[in-house]
Structure 1
Amino acid sequence: MQKTLSQSLFQTLFVGIVIASLLIIGAVWRSANTLVVQNIDHNIVLAEKVFDKVVADRQAVIRNVSKVLSRSFDFRRAVGTENIPSIEAAFTSYAQRLNTDIIALVSLDHQVVVTRTDLFDVGQNVESSLALVAKGKDSGFFVVDNKLVQLNLIRVEIPTLRYYMLIGVEFDSRLLEELKALVDAEIIISRTDTNDVLTTTLKENDAQRILASEHDPSWIDVTFKDELTYFAREVNIASDGNLPVKITLAVDTTSSFSAFTRIQLTILAFCLVAIFIALGLSLLLARNVSRPVSTLVKAVNKVASGSYGATLDAPSNLKEITELANAVDSMQASIKSRENHIRYQAEHDVLTGLFNRNYVEGFFESELQEERELQVVAITVIGFRTINDLYGYSNGDNTLKALAERLQRWPGTSARLAGGEILYITQDSLNDDQLETLKHILEQPVESNLIAIPVKVAMAVIQCPQDATTSEELFRKMNIVTDEAIHSDSWCVRYRTELEDKYNRRLSITTELKRALASQQNELSMVYQPKIDLQTMKVCSMEALIRWNNSVLGFVPPDEFITIAEQAGLIEQVTTWVMKQTISDLAYFRGMGYGFTVAMNLSTQDIQNKVLLGKLVSLLTQEGCHLKLWNLR
């Protein structure tokens, strides 16, 4: 949903005031929170020290007295003879002296032999003693029957190791109440995996809610909500890292936050007053800003619709609005210039500056839609590739530029299609004399880099819409007429229906000849015209002549398909086939006892092909025929 400027200004001021108020509230709250946290941290440090002191003192007493017990002659004798009543009596006596909750005798395979606690049963496997032995420790914290206990492992040797004695203390509610009095905080012992409370100085429901809370209470919770307001922190106890319980200290923060409640409410009152002031300021500012901005928005919308001549009239006393108006005006001019440049590149050939094929297609279609008669002249630079090869691409480009400049002096539309192909749509139809004049102008040598480059062009003329009604048809027929002009060595050819038939036959001959040369076939054959010595009336020489009977075209005269093969670049393949077949036939004639020579005709392209002549010598050698038996024409 869009907003007005006044709404935006009000929102900005409103958000600013709210943010400032929140920052102040946050700072005050942070100060209060810091005091509470510091107090909690102090209690936690004290609790940890007291906890460590109690555990250390109890452990020292237990270990000292336990060593005396384990070395007592009566106890060792009772253990050695497995006198259970004597062992139980000794455990009862020492349990009272040690003030301990747990004391048990465990065999080397960690089964309870004698116990004085409900946590262990006789014959039970004790995992805690196994863990202490495996880790080489004398004491550790464990959870037994959902109770946190601290166990000490005493070795009983008679004289060698025979038993283990487990002596420990349980962290029950009585012990936690003693610790609570020292640290001035509630204590919760719970499981780390499920948060189930094992022992606590609070009600179990309250302890569960404290453990389930994911964050500490804020002053809002303390002031407005009826819920537990405790800061909770975990206390580290000495363990091997695998103890599934945790000890949590919880400190009530109600009294700590009550002093800051009035400050928070006062800040909120100031915020409400500031918001009403912001509303009035936003209305005042909107009047001076929204009007010129609306004018600029209308101007930008005109630019977006393609109108670049809009005059900006956005008077304002604000410097920023004036700069924005100037920027919009500059943007309008830049977009117009850039769009003209892009349109020019999309419609013109980069090298010559003539239109390109995309433009001329659209121009041709639009002219035909208006039912105008057009004369289209396709101009082809004959041998343009040779110009590039002989004089270099730079001079070839200069040649095209010169031709484009000459053609642009004539009224009409010109476009470069590709390479040396140019399309010229005349403004008024030209007769043969005018076309010849144009040809004469275009064929003037081009001076480039101190070189006079000769130019020869061929023209193909098509009248529209008589000869073509679409751009696709135009280009197709233009190729046909241009091909005829080049191959017939005519400087200008106009479209005729028979040219299309002739062009299609030329394509068919090219296609079928390629297929015949590439496959094993019997369409191509050789015939031999004898040359007779009139004195002896014997055949002295034979002229090899190729014949072609095609399954589609029928008999194709040699002068027709040989010429097309030269133009299509297939003459080397034709000559190679003739050589192989003729040399094979010559070897056959020699085997039959004939001594005449064989003559084969070569084209000018064959004579210039050194590889082909080398191949001829190789084939003659392979068939065992002497070079003197072979004549070339």
Structure 2
Amino acid sequence: MPAFRFRTKLTVVYLALFLAVMGIILLAFYRSVTTNVEDQTREQLDASARVFERIVNYRVKTLGESVSALAQDYGFRQALGTDDRPTVISALQNQARRLEADMAVITDIEGSPIASLLDGEVTSAMPMISDDMKQLAERDGVASKLVSLDGRIFELVVTVVRAPVPIAWLAFGIELDKATAQEIKSLSPIDLEIGFLYRQGQGQYHVAAATSNADELGGYLVLTKPREEAFRATFLDQEHMFRRQPLVTGQDGEEISALLYYSMDAALAPYDPLVFTMITVLVLSLLLLIAGSVVVARGVTKPLTDLASAAQQIAKGRYEEVETESRGDEVADLTSSFNQMISAVKERENKITFQAYHDVETGLRNRLMFDRMIDQEIDHSDSFVLVLAEVQQLPELRTVLNHQNISELIKGVARRIEKVADTEVARVSTESFGFLVRDAEEAETRASLVLNSFLTPFDVADIVIDAGVKLGLVKFPGDGEDSATLLRHGQAALDKGRGAPRGFAWYDPDRDSSQKARLSMMSELRGGLKNGEVKFAYQPKLDLASGKITAVEALIRWISPTRGFVPPDDFIPMAERTGDIRHVTDWGLRKAIEQAAEWRESGLNLAVAINLSTNDLMNHNLPAQILALLREYDLPAVFLKLEVTESAVMHDMTRALDVLNMLSAMGLALSIDDYGTGYSSLSYIKKLPVGEIKIDKSFVLNLAKNDEDNILVRSTIELGHNLGLSVTAEGVEDEESVGRLREYGCDVIQGYHIARPLPPAELEEFLKESEYGPA
């Protein structure tokens, strides 16, 4: 269905309202006129009926006087007395002509006919003179009644002939014929029609005479069988008002009536000029209204059209304000509001666009903007070099600098790179920046300049900060054809650049292939966790005070069907970088808790220690996950120990502390693993909710031979005890190291001298046979 424009709709509404109002007026006019005409017609019919009654009564009176005069005529009575029939007939004929009577009848006193005339001729047909008429005539001298005879209606007047006693009954009749009807019609102020009706018993009405259309009227009465005295009906294709005036009604249903009717079309005809005038006025008003509606609609819709056009321009990104000629009205207010909206949308779009292409923290260009920069360079340049620069110390600096200081440092790094490299810089990740060098031959020179510029420290909030960068370089088109490939290869070059002597490295496809191989390893690792290729080996931890093994450390082992034994150092770091470490953690926590619960159920009370990664400490859902597993296996928290490295804690100390505090509140024992290899010292440990530090095996392996290691280990044990921490030494390989650690007050030791990592069954066998087994 086609949609109509607002201008058309407005015009249609005006027209509809106008037509509705005019329709109501015309309906009221029509109802008023028709009602008035009906009332007038009904009154005229009633008046004509009364006139008809007066005419009939007058004719009856006149006829009655003439009949009485004839009945008293001596010669007429003598002719009756002598039974002179010719004289009687001659007298009847003379009197009938004089009275213009259509019927004359004389009977003896018994009712036997003496003579009768019909239309001036002698006839044997005669109406019956009823007994009630005879009685009335004998009493009053004259009696009258309408009677029907052979389809004709007569006004019959009866009197008695006395000589001096009653000797005969004399009656004259005048027919109610078409002439009579025409006479009555001529006396009416309206052009009504009259018909004389009769019926026998309860039969149909028959027309004896009518002013016109007697046959049609008779047929109509046969079809409609009217019973009401006043009614409206369609006759001869016109609406008529009917008035039936009963004249004679017998007990047996015999009836003689006068039917008066008038055409409503004729009654309404005088109003035709008025109707024509009103229709003319309506048509002219309609034309004027259409013209006016178009003008008004155009005036109203033009500002709306302008606003719609402006809205379309907004959709295309062109923000142009709308001008209007209206002042101080709703249209002006709407236009003003629309212009304000345009300004607000334009401002918001600029803000959103800025936020979409800039880093929220620093306002620098972001990764999305850098993608656009690369795409534009690809479209307009034959070759260029993409450089990724990573700030190395940011994770550690976040632990000592506040958020505002870090933001200022990042902006300072970006400004320095832009100044030295003479190009636009974008922040592509938390710790890395990207820029383009359009001249490939200058790429290494620019990279060296950037690296050298970081020899100068940064001054942030009166704090001198040393920061360095590592760079990865990738060439277009040789190392990639699109932005996504170039950035991916640039990241691979940056990985290589972290360990490069010069501080930067070019993308190496061969090294990237090995990287892809390691990524493939992660897919195999996920499968190995599900199908049982990955298992735990448990290394005992000896409590020097009791001389018993009270805990074990769960160490992961992966025997791949295709790769064979895969050392943890090969796949754990990669899993941490790819995020697959969460699958390892989920598997490890369930497996370790399940094993500890089995041992406890069998009477072997061994705590199981498991290592957590950096990603695990960033996971606020970890405490809830561990709590659910402990409840599932009904294992007390003291039988699970969690070990974290210094580097994992220092990555984001604030978030790590949140997770560690929740774990400590659950009653879990926490340890700092590989202590001494991180970036900090014991000073930060007092902030952590840990109860143990584990001295890294690199300080313990040569303890019996290296004096420096002895000094470091002894000092660490003393400092740990001073902080209220227990100390565990890893990598114990000989009895002499055991003796020195016992001498230094070390609490727990573990290493190959005690036992290598063992599967659960072998560990249980070892504990049964070893002197270190639980009591």
TM-score using structure 2 length: 0.37
Q: Which has the higher contact order (CA 8 A, sep 6+)?
A: 1
- After TM superposition, the score normalised by the length of structure 1 is 0.43
